């Protein structure tokens, strides 16, 4: 069966950009722990950091979750909620803050605010590459577009700019921003003429900023970019995030024949729900999961994904034991996807 652009849906997680030199979330936490030991700017927040990390792990333990990963996003979610102080929706039910937290957070929670700002600044440095030479493997998307010849949808959970900086060199990518004003409008995705990819950045981007409650794209990396952390924000009804999740759901349920997941840890529940519902309602839909096993048991990994997606048919899951760079460079092409198109259960292959 011939593959067309609308048949392919790509979902990129942090692992898609690791080979470009961008650390994944748990690596960022390890780097933070090095910084608070070695760098003077970070040392004042060492006790605060370890208190927050211990509290998050303690909370997991109470719920019987002893294998949950602690990463920079979980840290920022907690810091963001604490920063709200009395405006936090749960505050009237809590009564008072933990004494140790009050001691470490400082007057008016100034230490929390400063630590938050320091982490966000460091996040920009990790994600905003000075050179994109190591991200050249994304060029394979350009070759795929040439072979397929149709508009394709790419959804990314990452804040980096690898895709647009590499693929955008010779292919037209729609990001939703009007050229004249750099302001985001949903209608920009409706005109598909001459475009090769629609790129949906589900969690924001390091070159996005808000001005008068309107989203804009900058020509540089913003000091306080529009990024979202936490499920309560990711499921917000504010555009573009609500629109992007709606497009993801609609594509999974209608157009896509293959969902290509590259470097995703299946940690975002709202994404998992969309994938799960689509896969279980369309037996012909296939998910290709690209991630290196690093010596882990393949069956264990398969069972983990099946459980996360509540997937009933093993035939719908295709695991590729490769890094993103190796997959994009050596495997990802039109023929590969045509060989992996599925049929509804009970329908013989032609």
Examine the pLDDT at 123 and tell me if it is beyond 80.
yes
pLDDT digits (tens, 9 = 90+) for 6-26: 999 999 999 999 999 999 888
- Residue 93: other Cβ atoms inside 10 A: 7
Whether 350 is in a domain gets the answer: no
Examine the pLDDT at 110 and tell me if it is beyond 80.
yes
Residues 287 and 185 in one domain: yes
* b/e sequence 191-218, b meaning 16+ C-beta within 10 Å: eeeebbbbbbbbbbbbbbbeeeeebbbb
CATH number at 270 reads 3.40.50.1220
Asked if 80 and 116 touch (Cβ cutoff 8 Å), the reply is yes
* b/e sequence 154-187, b meaning 16+ C-beta within 10 Å: bbbbbbbbbbbebbbeebebbbbbeeeebbbeee
Examine the pLDDT at 181 and tell me if it is beyond 80.
yes
The helix/strand/coil state of 11 is strand
Residues 165 and 39 in one domain: no
Tokens of 73: 């996003």
Domain tally, the chain:
2
Residues 6+ apart with CB under 8 A from 26: 69, 70, 71, 72
Examine the pLDDT at 232 and tell me if it is beyond 70.
no
Examine the pLDDT at 223 and tell me if it is beyond 90.
no
* Spatial distance between the Cα atoms of 246 and 226, rounded to a whole number of angstroms: 20
Residues 319 and 221 in one domain: yes
> What integer is the mean pLDDT of 87-112?
85
- Strands (E) located in 22-180: 152-156, 173-174
- Per-residue confidence band for 344, with pLDDT thresholds at 50, 70 and 90: low
Residues 100 and 185 in one domain: no
**DSSP character at residue 283:** T
The range of the structural domain enclosing residue 57 comes to 25-127
Residues 70 and 218 in one domain: no
Whether 345 is in a domain gets the answer: no
The helix/strand/coil state of 349 is coil
- Per-residue confidence band for 57, with pLDDT thresholds at 50, 70 and 90: very high
Question: In this predicted structure, which of 204-218, 227-241, 257-271 has the lowest mean pLDDT?
Answer: 227-241
Residues 73 and 106 in one domain: yes
- pTM for the model: 0.90
Whether 57 is in a domain gets the answer: yes
Please spell the DSSP secondary structure of 255-293, one letter per residue.
I-SEEEEES--S--HHHHHHHHHHHHH-TT-EEEEE---
R_g over Cα of the chain: 21
Residues 74 and 217 in one domain: no
For 139, counting Cβ atoms within 10 Å of its Cβ (0-12 exposed, 13-18 middle, 19+ buried), the class is middle
Whether 349 is in a domain gets the answer: no
Residues 16 and 54 in one domain: no
Residues 72 and 211 in one domain: no
To the nearest whole percent, how much of the chain has pLDDT over 90?
73
Of 206, 193, 121, 194, which is closest to residue 163 (Cα–Cα)? 206
What values do phi and psi take at 335, rounded to 5?
A: -60, -40
Residues 73 and 139 in one domain: no
Examine the pLDDT at 256 and tell me if it is beyond 60.
yes
Whether 220 is in a domain gets the answer: yes
Asked if 170 and 142 touch (Cβ cutoff 8 Å), the reply is yes
């Amino acid at each position: 069966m011939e593959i067309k652009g609308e048949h392919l849906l790509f979902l990129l997680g942090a692992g898609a950009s690791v080979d470009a030199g961008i650390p994944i979330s748990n690596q960022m936490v390890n780097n933070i722990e090095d910084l608070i030991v070695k760098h003077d700017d970070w040392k004042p927040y060492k006790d605060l950091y370890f208190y927050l990390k211990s509290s998050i792990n303690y909370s997991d333990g109470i719920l019987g979750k002893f294998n949950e990963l602690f990463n920079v996003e979980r840290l920022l979610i907690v810091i963001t909620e604490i920063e709200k102080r009395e405006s936090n929706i749960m505050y009237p039910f809590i009564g008072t803050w933990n004494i140790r937290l009050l001691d470490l957070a400082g007057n008016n929670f100034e230490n929390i605010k400063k630590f938050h700002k320091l982490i966000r600044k460091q996040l920009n440095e990790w994600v905003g590459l000075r050179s994109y030479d190591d991200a050249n493997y994304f060029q394979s998307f350009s070759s795929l577009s040439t072979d397929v010849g149709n508009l394709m949808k790419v959804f990314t959970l990452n804040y980096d700019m690898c895709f647009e900086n590499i693929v955008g060199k010779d292919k037209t990518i729609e990001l939703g921003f009007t050229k004249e004003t750099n302001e985001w409008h949903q209608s920009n995705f409706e005109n598909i003429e001459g475009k090769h990819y629609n790129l949906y950045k589900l969690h924001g981007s390091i070159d996005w900023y808000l001005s008068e409650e309107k989203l804009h794209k900058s020509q540089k990396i913003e000091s306080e970019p529009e990024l979202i952390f936490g499920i309560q924000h990711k499921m917000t009804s504010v555009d573009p995030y609500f629109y992007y999740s709606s497009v993801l759901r609609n594509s999974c349920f209608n157009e896509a024949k293959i969902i290509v997941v590259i470097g995703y840890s299946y940690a975002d529940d709202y994404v998992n729900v969309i994938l799960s519902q689509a896969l279980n309602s369309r037996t012909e839909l296939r998910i290709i999961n690209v991630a290196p096993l690093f010596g882990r048991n393949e069956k264990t990994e398969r069972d983990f994904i099946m459980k996360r997606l509540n997937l009933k048919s093993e035939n719908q899951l295709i695991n590729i034991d490769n890094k993103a760079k190796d997959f994009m460079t050596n495997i990802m092409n039109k023929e590969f996807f045509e060989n992996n198109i599925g049929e509804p259960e009970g329908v013989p292959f032609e």
